[in-house]
Amino acid sequence: MPRKEGRYMAAWQHSFRACLIVIIGFFWPIMTLAQDEVVSTSLCADSYVLALVEPRQIKALSWQANSKLSRAPDAVRSLPRAWPSQEVLLSLSPAKIVLGSGDNIAATSLAEHRGSKAMQLAPATDFTAIENNLSKLGEFLNKQGQAKTVISSQRIRLQSLQARKQSRHEEPSILYLTPTLGTAGYGTFIDAAIIAAGARNFATELGIENWSRVPLELLATQQPDLIITSFFRNGSPSILQFRANHSILKGLQQKVPQKHIPGGLWVCGGPLLITAAEQIADALDQRYSIDPKSGHGEFASKSLCGFGASKCDD
């Protein structure tokens, strides 16, 4: 009888050790996980993460982090790449995963099962929504202090833009334009940046809401005071050539000043949007000359940056 009990005991110990090995293997990523490692899955998420997190804490940036539209510093461009994929995120197994508003949150399920935590940014169409994202992300990443600093800086910069607006005495109209005649009306972060810079959104005045295209016939009869462009340099050559040579656009180029805003500043409503607004304000100040007799200003006709010009940098 003792021999039989001994065999049972040995079998039980063997089974216990096997189960223990399985359990340890399963939870090993959690046990060894650095608690401050962060992974980002989109350009938009990159911009938020880079605003709050030190480079040494970033385990991977998005698959677009090395593109021309990325504003990531050189020091982090060599980091591993991530995207909303079950396999990719599981293999990285970071402490925290930050997804863009359009990313598939379900892609984090396996990594979360292994101990990772995930947060998805909300779509941001104005500066208040950007602040909300920063505040929530600061809580998620335990970077509340840095989030408050970034939010405070954005508010100060918005106040400065308001003061610059008042010094111009007028609100010029601005049209945002992409190589495919895309534009942005009311309810977009482009609209928020234009208004913050101290101008009126020409697309909104045309009755355009959200994202749309500008009918060429309208541009033939109605013209803004300034055109801001993005993505002209990095677009398809065939599109660039067609649009740049279009007679109506060529006419506008001669009559209306243009300013190119690097596309990487507003791939989404993020922490870099305030910089885009400041660059728009710079263009307004540069092209706005005060008449000492009337006290009013008007735009010079010279273009700041023509459609698809080689000096326009994204």
Q: What is the pLDDT of residues 172-211, one digit of tens each?
A: 999 999 877 889 999 999 999 999 999 999 999 999 999 9
The residues spanned by each domain of the chain are 38-121, 148-299
216-273 pLDDT, tens per residue? 788 878 899 999 998 876 555 555 555 555 677 777 777 889 899 999 999 999 999 9
Task: Specify the pTM.
Answer: 0.81
Long-range contacts of 63-67 (CB under 8 A, 24+ apart): 65/40, 67/43
- What's residue 248's pLDDT? 72
Please identify, in words, the CATH class of the domain defined by 38-121: alpha beta
Q: How many CA atoms lie within 13 A of 123 on its CB side?
A: 6
Residue in 234, 39, 223 with CA at minimum distance from that of residue 141: 39
Tell me, yes or no, if the two domains 38-121 and 148-299 fold the same way.
Answer: yes
pLDDT surpassing 50 at residue 310: no
Q: Are 58 and 76 in contact (CB under 8 A)?
A: yes
Residue 145 scores a pLDDT above 90: yes
Instruction: Mean pLDDT check: name the lowest of 17-26, 144-153, 224-233, 264-273.
Output: 17-26
Please give the pLDDT value at position 249.
Answer: 73
CATH superfamily of 148-299: Nitrogenase molybdenum iron protein domain (3.40.50.1980)
Q: State how far the Cα of 137 lies from the Cα of 300, in Å rounded to an integer.
A: 43
